[in-house]
Amino acid sequence: MPYVNIKITDEIVTHEQKQELITGVTELLVSVLNKNPATTVVVIDEVPTENWGINGSTVAKLR
């Protein structure tokens, strides 16, 4: 029943990589907390680099 939200910058993440993130997080919750994978939800948000700030600057500017 856990819900996991992963926010990353939108910089060409493949379907395969998303699948790996989702499998990896789900397995982690099963192994550490014995959660039920059937109701474990993972949502990935890809954020444009001009909408992500770190150290007071957009990532778009840092790249």
Residues with catalytic roles:
2
Q: Judged by CB under 8 A, does residue 63 bind a copy of itself?
A: no
Read off φ and ψ for residue 36, nearest 5 degrees. -80, 115
Q: Judged by CB under 8 A, does residue 22 bind a copy of itself?
A: yes
Cβ atoms of 56 and 20 within 8 Å: the answer is no
- Least distance from C-beta 34 to a copy of itself, angstroms? 10
CA 25, 31, 35, 39 torsion-angle sign: positive
Contacts with a copy of itself by CB under 8 A lie at 1-9, 13, 15, 17-29, 32-33, 35, 37-47, 50-61
